[in-house]
Amino acid sequence: MESKLLSILDQTLQNEDEPRRTAESQLEALYPDSSFPVALVNIAAAAEAPLVSRKTALTTLKRYVNRCWSAGFEEFTGPLTPGEVKTHIKRQMFSIITSDLRQVRSIAAAIVGKIAVADYPDEWPELLPTLLKLISDGNDAQASGALHVLGDVIEEGLGDDLFLQLAEQIVELLYSVATAKNKSFSVRSLATSTFKSCIDTLGTLLGGDETNIVAFAHQAINHWVPFIINALEAPLPADVEDRKGMLALKIQAIKTVTQAKIHFPRSFDESIERLFAATWSDMNLLKERYVAEFVREDTDGKLVNADGLPYSLDLYVLEQIDFIQTCLGTKVVRDRIEQAGFDTAGGSPFSQMMFTTVMLSQIGGEDRMMWEADLNVFLSEECAVSANYTPRTACGDLALKLFECFPDRTLQALYDHTQSVFRMGAEGAYVKEAALYLWDQLLHEIADREYPVDENLAKGLLQLIVQAMCDESDDFLRARGYAAAATLTEAACSSIRGQVTELMEQSIRAATSDKSPVVEICAIRSFQKYCHSVSGEQLRGFQVGIITAIRMFMDHKGAEDLDDAQDVLAELVETIQAAAGIDHGAVLNSNLQVPELLFKFASLSTNNYHIHGLVEDTFDSIIRGLRGNYIPLCERILPLLIPMLEEKPDKSNHELVALAESVLAHLIDNGTTPLPQGFVATVMPHLTRVLSTSVDTDIVSEGAKALTYILNHDVAQLLNYQSPIPDSKSGLEMTLIIIDRLLRPDITEATAAEVGTLAGELVVKAGDKLGQLLPGLLGAVAGRLINAAYPPFVQSLSLVFARLIQTQAKDVVDFLQSLTIAGRNGLEAVLSTWLGHTTIFTGYDDIYQNILALCHLYNLQDPRLNNIYVQGDLIVPETSRIMTRSRARANPDRYTSIPVPVKILKLLTQELGPNVEQNMSAVGGRGLVGTQQNDPEDEDEWEDLPEVPGMTRDELLALGGSGRTSRQIDDEVYGVLIGFFKEVMSKNIGNFQELYNQLTPEEQRILSLIH
């Protein structure tokens, strides 16, 4: 078998697809053969076999173990490995994990760790004693392999009780290895890393025997602290390999302390000062080396050794910065810093810390090259949307922490160092940029907190920023100047008010004429901040310049360059949005081409929902801002929308068509009532074509919204509309055809999610025009509702009946009772689906309308409702066993069955929430509303309130932290509910007293508080 396998394994390494796939299929076919895994482990253990064959055998064995070793593994497919084969493999694996070849033992260790999860301790009791002996007495190769396995066993294989029994022995052994000077740095680092795993495991057990666990952790941590301090203080060796090993050890040491402090913070009460001092001292010593290697040069960073442990200087510095920041959260460290003083001239530790922070904030050499080559990469870092966490970004966080602890001292220390570095010549460009980068972070925080900035400091800093804006020696310094100028304006506008106009003028010039794209984009996006902090009157003269600068930037870059620059496009859209908000009337100026620019951004951002969302939001704010100029707005936007709506949607343009429909929906929703004459005739041919043919979810959804808004704003114009010959159908007929299509089962629920809203609006606005068509329409809605599962679709269809019930409750019940849908009574089928999904309805108005409908339905007191049983409360099984996925599948949730009136009371009680007394006091004095029909003006107020897509009722309740009392809208809902319950209680409507006994104790408690 071994020779046969060697040939197949070699074939899996072929570059050609067909031989490789054939070999992989042959391996799969051998899984049922019990000699297959034995042969694999024999090849892996054979020292004479080629290294590549041994590695391939181990990789194949790893897949086999995942699939065949234990039925408890997620990847298990079978057949289960026989017991005698398992014994042979486990015996052989010990020799492999102690191999001198690191590449072999690292794969083997992962396999043993996986086996241990399934077999230890019951089926492999000798595992842990053997591992501990190898770690204690073995050579570096043996200890390394055993430590890898031990780490896996600790994290996944040891039970809680067994770990606690062995923890003291394991921790003591790890300490002896970590401190052994005769062991390699790699083994010592692995031992320290494994101790960190022990601490993590102890942290997860804190809910149990907490006193003893904390006591043991405290003892273990303090036993390790001297070693950790020595490791942090140790100088880096001159030898390159030893230096890498020492860095790996230092990183594991500081990671261990950081993690231990999270789980057991009080264990560091006596040692935190020494740990802080050791970390700070080492970071201060290494800053020059870091700058030389990672700022002035582009030394490779973020390196990990063969054991999976990081060992490069940049990663160590990153850990140091994070730990320093953690220490600043400790009072004793803050007190120590304060006692040492803040004198800048005397070189206080605090001043030195700020200087080191500035030095480590410089742009890395590798980052600088990437940013120069790709503007998009620069912006993703600048806008903090990148996951790339570097010493520079960590220093920004450290500066914010220092400001949190010592606000005025931090500002003064950074200002003093900024003045110092700006006295340097061109050679100081990098560190100047770093100082302003930290100012950018602090000023943003200052603006958010509205923290006062000393006027003299603000003016002095502005002078330095202006120097940076004019510095031709470095593009990034110049770009940072424009960014910091805008942030300073946000934070201290009153102090530099006289210079703001000049700053904006200079930003416009840079945005249109600087030689560097980095400077141009920073100057452009600076206006997002200016528009936020500078008065509209002062900004008005710059609006044209901002928009022109964006258009020029687009023209210079070209479509090809911008196609892969999505972060750049996002910033341009946000700047356009800010600029348009200065005076929305500028959008009507055809020379500025604001709508054209927005659609161009969208066309360059295929599949980028973020940018499309920004464009849509921008149009929405423009449309809302120009309600008073609605006809000119339509004349400006509709000629751009119509050609987009005429496009046949396909994979390449469906997002643009959906965007055009979304903008149209916003335009109609914010339109006049009635709409301008001819508006419906202009847009209906395009809307009806799309809604009659498309199956794209976004396109159909937005189109249905637009048609719904037409009904809402100008039903008369729609009813009078006649489609062009030869079809020549009325607007009403076209709307019914669209609704009928969207209710068909071949249209997905997600695509048809808005059809209920459209149908409901048609029934309310034009029900008298439907005549004999109304029963058919409602029957079709009911037919689709009873089998619906997609929550927004269920909600949309249910609200058709909810709105009708508020005015025609008996007629609706009679109609549904007369229906038979798929062999079920229509009333029972609709109520089961509707009431079963009510708790996940979203949106203020829909929830409110649903509450009103439920109140009316209960007050109808129709005896037929008492005979309809729907899903009630969850039946909780009486068992102490953990509910695994397999048990959950075998024992699905079961519910009680309750009459409709009881279900309604439960739903309305749930709407009250648990804090009913507090909420009642909030609505007291406003006048409680009963369940009678509200004034139409009140309902209009509700319709004007914005929807909150994707928010369930429970999330709405959570807003404000105190239930529904945080919003006026919720007070009105409470008024309805309290009025309803007071009335049904006092008058025993619907035999309330009897139904009350069927509620849960918690529901009864809530209702008992109503008085």
How far is residue 514's CA from residue 523's CA, in Å, rounded to a whole number? 9
Q: d(Cα 656, Cα 645) in Å, to the nearest integer?
A: 9
Note whether 833 and 791 are within 8 A (CB): no
In sign, the C-alpha dihedral spanning 323, 329, 335, 341 is: positive
The answer, yes or no, to whether residue 833 has pLDDT greater than 70, is yes
Tell me what pLDDT residue 633 has: 98
Give DSSP secondary structure letters for 233-280.
HSPPPSSHHHHHHHHHHHHHHHHHHHHHHHH-GGGGTTTHHHHHHHHH
Give the CA distances from residue 896 to residues 833, 873, 909, 911, 944, in Å, rounded to whole numbers and listed in that order.
16, 5, 18, 20, 39
Decide: 523 and 485 in contact? Cβ < 8 Å.
no
Per-residue pLDDT at 651: 66
* Mean pLDDT, range 372-398, rounded to an integer: 91
Residue with tokens 């020696």: 473
Which are the contacts of 939, defined by CB distance < 8 A and separation ≥ 6? none
Model confidence at 569, pLDDT cuts 50, 70, 90, reads: very high
490-495 average pLDDT score: 96
- The pLDDT, as a whole number, for residue 958 is 43
- The dihedrals phi and psi of 869, each to the nearest 5 degrees, come to -105, 135
- Token pair in block for residue 740: 């009928």
The 10 Å Cβ neighbour count of residue 894 is 9
Round to whole Å and give the CA distance between 89 and 83.
Answer: 10
Whether residue 956 has pLDDT greater than 70? no
- Residue 938 confidence (pLDDT) above 70: no
Whole-number pLDDT of residue 923: 54
Rounded to whole angstroms, the Cα distance separating 261 from 330 reads 11
Q: Which of 9-13, 114-118, 458-462, 920-924 has the lowest mean pLDDT?
A: 920-924
Confidence of residue 937 (pLDDT cuts 50, 70, 90): very low
Instruction: Give every CB contact of residue 182 below 8 A, 6+ residues apart in sequence.
Output: none
Rounded CA-CA distance 480/473 in Å is: 13
Identify the band that residue 935 occupies on the pLDDT scale cut at 50, 70 and 90. very low
φ/ψ of 894, rounded to 5, equals -120, 150
Give the pLDDT confidence score for residue 927 in this predicted structure: 37
CA 306 to chain centre: 33
d(CA 490, CA 773) in angstroms, rounded, equals 60
755 vs 950, higher pLDDT: 755
For residues 487-505, give the mean pLDDT.
96
**pLDDT at residue 157 greater than cutoff 80:** no
Lowest mean pLDDT among 127-136, 517-526, 961-970: 961-970
Mean pLDDT for the stretch of residues 415-437: 96
Residue 704: is its pLDDT beyond 50? yes
Q: Average pLDDT in the 742-759 region?
A: 97
Is the per-residue pLDDT at 456 higher than 50?
A: yes
Average pLDDT of span 195-213: 88
CA dist 230 and 783 (Å) reads 75
Q: pLDDT grade, residue 346 (50/70/90)?
A: low
List the structure tokens of 934.
């509200």
Read off the pTM. 0.83
Average confidence (pLDDT) over 167-183: 95
The band of 933, judged by pLDDT with boundaries at 50, 70 and 90, is very low
Q: Which DSSP category does 895 fall into?
A: E
Asked if residues 850 and 801 have their Cβ atoms less than 8 Å apart, the reply is no
CA distances from 389 to 55, 364, 365 (A): 33, 12, 15
Instruction: State how far Cα 536 lies from the chain centre.
Output: 34
CA-to-CA separations, 272 to 261, 328, 349, in angstroms, rounded = 9, 10, 17
- Give the DSSP letter string of 513-539: H-S-HHHHHHHHHHHHHHHHHS-HHHH
Handedness of CA 470, 473, 476, 477 (dihedral sign): negative
pLDDT higher than 90, residue 210: no
Least confident of 205-219, 312-326, 728-742: 205-219
Give the containing element (helix H, strand E) for 57: helix 51-68
* pLDDT reading at 945 higher than 50: no
According to DSSP, residue 81 is labeled: P
How far, in Å, CA of 752 to CA of 698, rounded? 10
DSSP state for residue 765 in the 8-state scheme: H
- What is the four-CA torsion angle of 185, 186, 192, 198, rounded to 10 degrees? -160
What is the pLDDT, as a whole number, of residue 105? 85
Q: What is the pLDDT of residue 924?
A: 54
Strands 869-875 and 894-899: antiparallel
Q: Does residue 549 contact residue 592 with C-beta atoms inside 8 Å?
A: no
Q: What are the DSSP calls for 179-219, one per residue?
A: T-TTS-HHHHHHHHHHHHHHHHHHHHTTTSSHHHHHHHHHH
**Coil, strand or helix at 303:** coil
Q: What are phi and psi of 839, to 5 degrees?
A: -70, -15
**Average pLDDT of span 358-372:** 96
3-class DSSP string for 842-877: ECHHHHHHHHHHHHHHHHCCCHHHHCCEEEEEEECC
- Rounded to 5 degrees, φ, ψ at 419 are -60, -40
- The better pLDDT of the pair 298, 486 is held by 486
The pLDDT score that the predictor gives to residue 101 is 87
What does pLDDT average to over the chain?
A: 90
Confidence of residue 894 (pLDDT cuts 50, 70, 90): confident
pLDDT-derived band at 913, boundaries 50, 70, 90: confident
Q: Is the pLDDT of residue 385 over 90?
A: no
Residue 936 has pLDDT above 50, yes or no: no
Q: What is the mean pLDDT of residues 115-126?
A: 88
Backbone angles phi, psi at 304, to 5 degrees: -130, 135
**Cα 964 from Cα 698, distance rounded (Å):** 32
pLDDT value at residue 921: 60
955 has a pLDDT exceeding 70: no
Helices 455-469 + 407-421 axis angle, to 10 = 40
- Over residues 24-81, the pLDDT tens digits come to 999 999 999 999 999 999 999 998 999 999 999 999 999 999 999 998 888 899 899 9
Query: Does position 930 have pLDDT exceeding 70, yes or no?
Result: no
- DSSP letter at 747? S
Whether the pLDDT of residue 983 is over 70: the answer is yes
Q: How many CB atoms lie within 10 A of CB 996?
A: 17
Q: What is the pLDDT of residue 889?
A: 56
**Greater pLDDT, 749 or 152:** 749
